[in-house]
Chain A
């Protein structure tokens, strides 16, 4: 055979392999509103940047007549490519080939591209669309999952890892996404659970649909397993590209800087956003938008534990991780879910050299038996741990209420914020005036002729003495009291002077956070 013939042979082999599960299976995939694995990769990556590897890998099944079957690429496509000019490693499970089931060779392809990502120090994107373990391959399929989990953990905090759930992702398979940094889901397409509706029905007699059990909405709103919700695959890919504009390739780099742009001050006037009465709500995301470049805020987990807001934006062109209490939802309290949500985000920012800005306005912790029994002590502790542990620049803005334990937890000086500024409207106190007056002046109130009148009087007295930023400022717990409109300038300067911050960390293998 000459080169010509050999080339023709190669082309024929490639055509065969690229077809995946064949026309019928592809039609079936499309009928459910899903793209094919290859289309997904092409839509995420820059045009013509995808380079595929291991196209000719053969599956390893020997039992149950599997050795006679041809599974193109063994049900997964792997390769490298670019997103907005930045390199990434990517794999996409191909549901049209044996239901995207994971066998030994399938897993081997994934772990190979994962090893590449870690060695090359570039991000990893995994697209999940799989019926689960390939049962015919038995324990080798389990081994494959284990090898993936191990690599996810090793790469955690070194390279960004994101998971896109575009189909079923059930049983053991869910733990790879759970170990990665961000999980993207699409309405009606994504399904994640450990045990499916059928098992639940047969064992427990409880009936539930797949969508209600582990659909996109459920994981964005209730479980917190997913971070980004989209209504279509295209929308999801847009979110992925956006995310990559905010984060660095690996933990030794900084996120790309962009030209500095002012906020849209006509739309977001900082003085007009916050009601002076600390009991009245507002949307804290408007404050973020009034502060950051171009008023652009990329929110993460917006549907889960909405009483705290997390996400990326830029200040003077530099990526910033924002953590902010949200008075609009549950008065912005800390609870099990919000502590967990914020703590993980703080650790992400710390791992990837992204400075943290914390906006504080909270009444404290959510009271309730359900909260106590759900472990608000250990979950709440995650937030203290994450802030204390973080060594990236940490800047805190106390806007209104900062009461009690909530004050400490929200990146106070005591947890080593580098700069804390407070607005003149700030109330930094051991608890809210009503609660404090009831305890401090208990006897005066009880013994007064008119206890209610006395209580009101004492609350007012406490308020005028302690409901301000100056008591904390007198002890140096607040570095500066600034007017709201000066906040952006304060932050720009604070970030500028924190550019080469380095902190001493006692030598340890790793800490023991209250997981």
Chain B
């Protein structure tokens, strides 16, 4: 309830932003959630990222290696499961950015193809 009153009083001091919907600019406020949303990034097939946070257990490829689609790249252990990451494409490994035992966060770049 307190929150409510504070909010009502604050209205005149609120910093307004504009929001564009169907070519109309509306004067309004933006929520924290809206402002912290992540912009969409197109998936780059040449960048192998961690789909889940976890630990790198084994790496099967080295820089310069010629890989075929479906080849094993590494094992990412998460939630007590050993996940084999397979290559989504044919290509040459440009760089391996992690080593066995590394703790990786979600979406962290692991391997890059040329």
Contacts and interface: CB of A to CB of B under 8 A. Distances in A.
Interface of A: 203-206, 221-222, 229, 231, 235, 239, 279-281, 283, 285-286, 299, 302-303, 305-307, 327-333, 337, 363-364, 366-370, 403-404, 431-435, 438
Instruction: Name the interface size band of chain B.
Output: 20 to 34
21 contacts: A205-B53, A205-B103, A279-B27, A281-B16, A286-B8, A302-B7, A305-B31, A327-B26, A327-B28, A328-B14, A329-B28, A329-B29, A329-B30, A330-B31, A331-B21, A332-B28, A363-B21, A370-B38, A432-B22, A432-B23, A435-B24
A435 B20 CA distance: 11
A284 to B, nearest CB: 11
Nearest to B38: A370
Contacts of A438: 23
Nearest to A205: B103
Q: Which 10 A-B pairs have the closest CB atoms?
A: A435-B22, A331-B26, A434-B23, A369-B40, A204-B53, A331-B28, A363-B21, A205-B103, A432-B24, A432-B22
Contact of B21 (A239, A367, A370): A367
A30 B54 CA distance: 40
A328 B24 contact: no
B12 to A, nearest CB: 10
A302 B4 contact: yes
A281 B3 contact: no
Contacts, number: 96
B37 A370 contact: yes
A329 B25 CA distance: 14
A281 B21 contact: no
A303 B54 contact: no
The winner among A229, A235, A281 for most chain B CB atoms within 10 A is A281
A404 B79 CA distance: 45
Contact of A204 (B1, B3, B4, B78): B78
A330 B34 contact: yes
The winner among B22, B33, B40 for most chain A CB atoms within 10 A is B22
B63 interface: no
A206 B11 contact: no
A203 B79 contact: yes
A206 B53 contact: yes
A204 B26 contact: no
Contacts of B105: 204-206
B79 A303 contact: no
Given A306-B31, A435-B23, A203 B78 contact: yes
A69 B34 CA distance: 52
Contacts of A332: 28
Contacts of B7: 302
A369 B37 CA distance: 10
Contacts of B37: 368, 370
A314 to B, nearest CB: 17
Given A235-B2, A280-B27, A370-B38, 14 more contacts: A205-B103, A205-B105, A206-B53, A303-B3, A306-B31, A327-B26, A328-B11, A331-B26, A331-B28, A363-B21, A366-B21, A432-B23, A434-B23, A435-B22
A327 B27 CA distance: 9
Contacts of A327: 26, 28
Contacts of B31: 305-307, 329-330
Given A280-B27, A285-B8, A364-B21, A302 B53 contact: no
Contacts of A279: 24-27
A328 B28 contact: yes
B19 interface: yes
B13 interface: no
The winner among A204, A206, A302, A368 for most chain B CB atoms within 10 A is A204
Contacts of A305: 31
B114 interface: no
A329 B27 CA distance: 9
Contact of A431 (B11, B22, B29, B53): B22
Given A279-B26, A331-B26, A370-B40, A337 B33 contact: yes
Nearest to A200: B53
B32 interface: yes
A450 B33 CA distance: 41
Contacts of A231: 2
B23 A283 contact: no
Nearest to A371: B37
B41 to A, nearest CB: 10
Given A281-B16, A281-B27, A363 B22 contact: yes
B104 to A, nearest CB: 8
A257 B54 CA distance: 58
B33 A331 contact: no
A121 B26 CA distance: 48
B4 A299 contact: yes
The winner among A231, A329, A332 for most chain B CB atoms within 10 A is A329
A331 B19 contact: yes
B3 A302 contact: yes
Nearest to A238: B1
Interface in B59-81: 78-79
B83 to A, nearest CB: 14
A404 B21 CA distance: 12
Nearest to B79: A203
A245 to B, nearest CB: 14
A92 to B, nearest CB: 23
Nearest to A372: B40
B9 to A, nearest CB: 11
Given A206-B105, A331-B19, A370-B40, A239 B1 contact: yes
